[in-house]
Amino acid sequence: MAATTHTVTNQAPPLVGYDVFASDRALVEGVERHLDPKLLDSAREDLSLLGRSAGSVQAQEWGALANAYPPVLRTHDRYGNRIDEVDFHPSWHRLLGKAVGGGLTTAWSRPGGHVRRAAGFLVWTQVEGGHGCPVSMTHAAVPALRADPVLAAEWEPRLTSTIYDQGLRPASQKAGVLFGMGMTEKQGGSDVRANTTCAAALSEEGTYELKGHKWFCSAPMSDAFLVLAQAEQGLTCFLVPRVLEDGTRNPFAIQRLKDKLGNRSNASSEVEFDGTWARRVGEEGRGVRTIIEMVAATRLDCVLGSAALMRQAVAQAVHHATYREAFGGKLIDKPLMRNVLADLALESEAATTLALRLAAAYDDGSEQERAFLRLAVPAAKYWVTKRCTPMVGEALECLGGNGYVEESGMPRLLREAPLNSIWEGSGNVQALDVLRALQREPQALNAFLQEVGRARGADHRLDGAIKGLLTELADLEGIEARARRLVERMALVLQGSLLVRYAPAEVADAFCASRLGGDWGAAFGTLPHSLDLASVVERAAPRS
C-alpha cells in the first residue's frame, strides 16, 4: 500500500476565535483590582467585545495585510502639485477605526479611563503594533494641550472622539482627529535642546512660522502635531495642523519614509517645515516642560505595547505546546519545555501587572501617585521594553522552525519587539531620567519606596532585594555609570512587590526565587525545578 505523502498531522491549529481579554487572567484580575466595582460590568463587556474582535480571523488578517503592504509616500499628484500624502492599505484604516471606536483615545474623559484604556490598548495591540503609534500620540496629546486652556477646549473633544475620520481636512470639519509628535532632529536625537528648528512670531498673538527639519515624525497623515522649536525665549512647544482652517495645506514636506526593522505598517517620516503655521502651546522657552506630559503618557504606552507583545508571544507558545507532540508526548508536558513556558509567563505577567498599576496611578491623580509615577514610569519603560526582545525570541523558539516562518506571525512580533525600548527615549535616557528624579524630587523616591514597602515581610527574597536597593540608593558615588543596574533593580523590586501582593502564590514564588533570589540562569527556562511550574503555565494558557 502506497504511503500518503500529504496528510498533515501534529500541527497546532491557528490561535483564533478566542477572547484575548477574557483569556488573560493577569489582565482580567488587574482590571478587577484597580477599577471601581460600579464600573466593572461595563468595562468587562467593552473589553471582551474588543477581545473577541482581536482574537478573530478577520482582525488577524488586517494585522498581516497592514504589514505586508506598507505605506507608500506620494509627494506630488499627477500634475506636479506637492501633496505630501501617504497611502495605507485599507487594513490600516480598519485597525485604526477599531482602536478609536474602542475608546483607546478616551482615557482622560471618563472615570477609571486609564485602566480601561490601558487594558484595551494591551488587548488590541496584540493584533498589530504599528497603528498603536498614532493612537498613543493622540491619547498623550491631551495633557500637553491642557497647558493652554483655550487650545484644550478646542482640540480635546476631537482627540477623545470615538470616531475615526479618515482624510486631510480642516480639523473643525472632522468628527475626530489624530495627533502626531515632532521632537527629534538629525543632529540631536534625544537631546532635544540641540534642536535647530526655529519659530518666528507672527502679528497674531500666539501664532508663529516654523522653519526646520524633523528626523522622526511618525504617522505623518495625522491631523495635527506637537512640535518643539526654538523661539526667542528658547525651546517652545507648538501645535502644527496639517490643514489650515481655510482648507489650504500647511507647509509640511515629507522628505522620505523610514525603512524600519519592524513597525512597518506605520509611516515614520522626515519632514521639512518652511513657513509652517503653528500655535504656541504653553509659555515660550518652556517647551520641554509642556510636552513632557505627552512624553510620559507615551512612555507608559511603550510599557503597554511591550506587555502586549509579550502576552501574544506567550499565548502563541503555550498554544503550540498544548497541541504539538514530540518524543512520545505533548510538548507542554515535557519538564524542560514547561520550565521555558513558565519563565516566559512570569515575564509577561510581571509586565502586565506593572503596566496596569501605572495606569491606575494616572486615574488616581493624587500628589502621592504623581510622585510615584515620576520614578515608576521611566523605570518600567526601561526594564519592560528591554525584556521584550529576548522574551519574544525565546517564545518564537518554542515553535521551532514553524515560528521562524512569516505565516506564524512570530517574526512580526520579534521585529516589533525592540521598538518600544528605542521610542520615547532609549534605555540610557530612561536611566538618566530616573537619576534626575532621585536627585531633584525626594518625594518621588518616598512614594516609590512606600509602594514597594507595602509587601515587606511577605517574602524573604523580596525583603532582601529591597534592602539591597536601599544600599544602592545610599551610595551616589559614580551613580551615572551604575544607573542601568540601579533602574533594573528598582523595576524588579516593584514587580516583585506587586506580584507578592496580587498574583497567585506559585507565580509570586517563582518570580521572587528567580528574579530576586538569584536562583536563575542567564536564559529563559532556568527556573528552580522544585517550583509549581505547571500551575504557572496553565494560568497563561490562552483560552476563555
60 lies in some domain: yes
What is the domain count for the chain?
A: 2
Q: Are 276 and 293 members of one domain?
A: no
Distance CA 165, CA 452 (A): 43
| Torsion angle defined by CA atoms of residues 171, 173, 175 and 178, in that order, rounded to the nearest 10 degrees | -20
Task: Give 89's contacts (C-beta < 8 A, 6+ positions apart).
Answer: 65, 66, 68, 69, 70, 71, 265
pLDDT at residue 1, rounded to an integer: 54
Angle between helices 25-34 and 533-540 (to 10 degrees): 80
Domain with 125 in it: 25-285
Q: Are 235 and 328 members of one domain?
A: no
Distance CA 147, CA 288 (A): 12
What's the grid cell of residue 301?
A: 504606552
Distance CA 201, CA 224 (A): 19
The DSSP code sequence of 226-279 is EEEEEETTEEEEEEEESB-TTSPBPP-EEEEE---SS-TTS-EEEEEEEEEEEE
Q: Are 268 and 415 members of one domain?
A: no
Amino acid at 107: A
Distance CA 40, CA 46 (A): 10
Q: Are 301 and 424 members of one domain?
A: yes
Q: Are 250 and 363 members of one domain?
A: no
Pick from 136, 144, 209, 216: which is nearest to 182 by CA? 216
233 lies in some domain: yes
Q: Are 75 and 170 members of one domain?
A: yes
CATH number (domain holding residue 221): 2.40.110.20
State the maximum Cα–Cα separation within the chain, in Å, rounded to a whole number.
91
207 lies in some domain: yes
Angle between helices 37-54 and 57-68 (to 10 degrees): 60
| CA distance from start to end of the chain | 44
Question: Contact, 43 vs 112, CB < 8 A?
Answer: yes
Q: Are 469 and 393 members of one domain?
A: yes
Which of 268, 285, 302 is the endpoint of a domain?
285
Distance CA 490, CA 485 (A): 9
Task: Give 444's contacts (C-beta < 8 A, 6+ positions apart).
Answer: 371, 372, 374, 375, 437, 438
Question: Contact, 267 vs 218, CB < 8 A?
Answer: yes
CATH number (domain holding residue 522): 1.20.140.10
Q: Are 295 and 434 members of one domain?
A: yes
What's the grid cell of residue 65?
A: 495585510
119 lies in some domain: yes
12 lies in some domain: no
Q: Cell numbers 528552580 label which residue?
A: 528
What's the grid cell of residue 48?
A: 471582551
Backbone torsions φ then ψ of 347, nearest 5 degrees: -60, -40
DSSP-derived letter for residue 399 is T
Q: Are 295 and 353 members of one domain?
A: yes
Q: Cell numbers 512624553 label which residue?
A: 295
Q: Cell numbers 509659555 label which residue?
A: 283
> pTM for this one?
0.97
What's the grid cell of residue 456?
A: 515587606
Which of 253, 269, 285 is the endpoint of a domain?
285
Q: Are 322 and 443 members of one domain?
A: yes
Backbone torsions φ then ψ of 502, nearest 5 degrees: -120, -25
8 lies in some domain: no
62 lies in some domain: yes
Could you read off the pLDDT tens digit of each residue along the chain, which spans 544 residues? 566 788 999 999 999 999 999 999 999 999 999 999 999 999 999 999 999 999 999 999 999 999 999 999 999 999 999 999 999 999 999 999 999 999 999 999 899 999 999 999 999 999 999 999 999 999 999 999 999 999 999 999 999 999 999 999 999 999 999 999 999 999 888 888 889 999 999 988 999 999 999 999 989 999 999 999 999 999 999 999 999 999 999 999 999 999 999 999 999 999 999 999 999 999 999 999 999 989 999 999 999 999 999 999 999 999 999 999 999 999 999 999 999 999 999 999 999 999 999 999 999 999 999 999 999 999 999 999 999 999 999 999 999 999 999 999 999 999 999 999 999 999 999 999 999 999 999 999 999 999 999 999 999 999 999 999 999 999 878 899 999 999 999 999 999 999 999 999 999 999 999 999 999 999 999 999 999 999 999 999 997 5
CA 510 from centre of chain? 26
Other residues' Cβ atoms within 10 Å of the Cβ of residue 436 = 12
For residues 501-538, b (16+ Cβ closer than 10 Å) or e, as one string?
ebbbebbbbbbbbbbbbebbeeebbebeeebebeebbb
Which of 244, 260, 285 is the endpoint of a domain?
285
Question: Contact, 261 vs 219, CB < 8 A?
Answer: no
The DSSP code sequence of 152-198 is HHHHHHHHT-S----S---GGG-S---EEEE---TTTTT-GGG---E
Pick from 88, 27, 95: which is nearest to 308 by CA? 27
What's the grid cell of residue 17?
A: 476565535
Q: Are 300 and 277 members of one domain?
A: no
The 3-state DSSP class for residue 199 equals strand
324 lies in some domain: yes
Cα three-residue angle 104-370-435, rounded to 5 degrees: 110
Q: Are 225 and 297 members of one domain?
A: no
Question: Contact, 267 vs 71, CB < 8 A?
Answer: yes
